[in-house]
Structure 1
Amino acid sequence: MRAEPPAWAPAAALLEEAADLLVLHRDFAAALERCEAGCDSLGPGPGSEPGPGPEPEPEPGPESFAEVKCSLCVVGIQALAEMNRWREVLSWVLQYYHEPEHLPPKVLELCILLYSRVGEPQVMLEVGSSWLRAQSNQRLPELGPLLELYLAQVLLPLGRSEGAEQLVRGCPSLDSQRQLQLLGTVLESRSRWARRQDTPPAAEEQQDPAAESLLGVLSQKLLTMLTLLRRALRSMSNHFYLLPYKKMLLATFLLYLVVVRLDPASPTSLPFIYKLVQLFRQAWAAVLSPIHRPPIRD
């Protein structure tokens, strides 16, 4: 009799299609659709919600149920990242595994690396802590490497040295030497954060690039205004230098005689004042050009 194909065989076929679409055809949306269809066909599956008691034996063969589901999620994560939809990765994965502690180690590792690379490691704080503290994961061989990755990419960059120390001391898969090394790394990171908090002015002295560009624009405008003002002053000074000094002195002297020295109320001064006014008009016409000559009223 011919053996029945396993229940996860359709999902494995969808996984192969998704991988081809992702790598060969670069059709990320179609690859994501195949991954979603494969995960939906698998359902909850065995081992998705581990309970008390002995762990089930893994299914024989290179493509067991858990491996196919994990591979579908890995391809789906890569497709979402290629479409710049990395913010949806964690929620998309959790809809198939429901709880953070049920995530496969490979999926958790990929999520930590992804969110760390895009500069948002805080997204993985609760998920990573829940996975590392779950009792069902304490005997996994990936516990130690994932703990070190979680420390280096999430906790220490965020300054969570206390939580990092607790995780290192409570990890059963770390030997004493490796534990001391990680505790030394945590202590060094804590010292760096303390020094950074003690010297905030140094960070404040560094100007923002946008502020520097704004200051550059303002400085350029101020320089332009000063240049125009200098040109105007130079033009005015050149104009006054061209005026004949003797005629200017004559006009000033005549104005002084009319206003200060002579008494306009005296009858004897009227003909002389008239002659002085005529001389003053001639001096005024010689000093100023017709364009800039102000009106003179009798």
Structure 2
Amino acid sequence: MTAVVLATACAMVYGTADFLGGMATRRSRVLAVVVLSQITGLAVAVVLLPILPGTPAPVTLAWGAASGLCGAAAVVLFYRALATGVMSVVAPITATVSAVLPVLFGLAVGERPEPMALVGVVLALLAVLLVSRDSSGGGSGGGYGPILASLAAGAGFGGFFILLAQAPAEGGAWPLVGARLASVTLIALLALTTGRTLRPGPGTLRVIIAAGVLDMVANVLFMLAQQRGLLSLVGVLVSLYPASTLLLARQVLGERLNTVQTVGIGFTLAAVALIASG
């Protein structure tokens, strides 16, 4: 039950961080938002070191760095897919792949959730697919390129969860430090080589900082959840984060949910209940 609570809270915090990051990208360059939020996350991870003490062993930092590189590459691919494709195609592909991979990995390494929990996993995967749908776009949007980028982005996000879960529990917050050091370095180098500015747009710095803080808090919740539960269950619960992003958009921006997304929200609640009961 503790793992379910932590994973559900993680999804809510991830969704809030994504909402704030999306708001910031309306007035700032994407790479600027990503780099500055990641630097903020790195600072938070350093602050957490005395609270979540551990040993910075090479294997701990290596797993963290691998997850960070995977996550950073996923962000770049995801935004590239959004720029060249249709959100109603890109978002559900990315979200679904990122949810499926931890489940498959967990089952492959011998995890065996209870039958009711497995039903919840199926509902959760459907929920991820439905809440990520967007009725604003149309057409195929750029052929196979955006679809391939979406698949790769989803694999990157799923890989982030899987790789971070491999870091030893005794590492404390050090895997997150390694992850952020690697991701900040990769995105900063990408920005420098492409000549993109890292200066935030007017009035966006506080929003970017808040997104970075919440993203790191979500990472901590995920790490704690997977240490206490099955990755095949924790990973799919965490991947329900688009639901909280949608609800925030509705409350803050007045955006309306379409019928498919509303059904997905219902599936989300049912999935959490079933996984908790299993």
* TMscore range, shorter length: under 0.3
Higher helix proportion: 2
* TM-score for the superposition, normalised by structure 2: 0.24
Structure number with the bigger relative contact order (C-alpha 8 A, sep ≥ 6) is 2
Question: TM-score, length-normalised on structure 1?
Answer: 0.23
